Amino acid sequence: MARVVAHLGRPETPQETADRKAESSRRYRSSKTFRNLIAALLVIIAVVVVVVAAVPRGEPAPRPAPDVPALAADLEAERGRPVLSPSLGEGWRVNQATVEGVGGTEAWTMVYVRSGESGFLRVAQGFDADEAWVGQVLDGTRSTETTEIDGITWNVYRPANPSGTGNIDYALAAPAGPDYVLVYGDAAPETAALAAASVTDQVEQLREVP
């Protein structure tokens, strides 16, 4: 016996029964698809959380500082002359040491920074260089005075426009046999003098190179 439908007040026709069942099946499939989608999203989120949690945190390990004495020894053997190996003392570390070219002149250049602070100091040995090389590095700045450090007379440079010289506001330069030595950066003059003093022996040895 066909059931009576309340809102119709009569039994369903076969077509109405078929339509009702079809609609019920459609809603069921739609509901199931939505639940499956939610479940899949939850699984994806869980996987992402696990991956993120597994990734190591913190700062990347600092790269080892260049071994200046070892690199200088290799350059000495290659160049056949003394090569600078300065020492700035506690609190300073070297983060770059390489031979680079400025204005056609090759220079053994070391870049020192103070741990945990801003500021830098470069020590460079221009191979077969003269004072013109210093002018190229310091954007044409001329020496205004001299200072004596451990018996070596150094020309003093004070760039008037540090922004035009890569933030260099103080420099010391001295001839060293066939080469020229330049100490420059934005560190205090006292620090530059300390770096210059640390290469006194090498400057004197260079001055003996024929």
pLDDT tens across 2-53, in order? 555 555 555 667 776 666 766 666 666 665 566 666 766 777 777 777 766 6
Q: Report residue 156 as tokens.
A: 């003093």
* pLDDT, tens digit (0-9, with 9 covering 90-100), for 51-105: 666 665 555 556 678 899 999 999 999 999 999 999 887 888 999 999 998 778 9
* pLDDT, tens digit (0-9, with 9 covering 90-100), for 117-175: 778 999 999 999 999 999 999 988 999 899 999 999 999 999 888 877 788 999 999 99
d(CA 72, CA 78): 10
pTM, to two decimals? 0.69
Spatial strand order in the sheet of 179-185: 92-102, 105-114, 120-126, 179-185, 170-176, 152-157, 143-149
Contacts of 75 (CB under 8 A, 6+ apart): 83, 99, 108
**pLDDT interval class at 114 (50, 70, 90):** confident
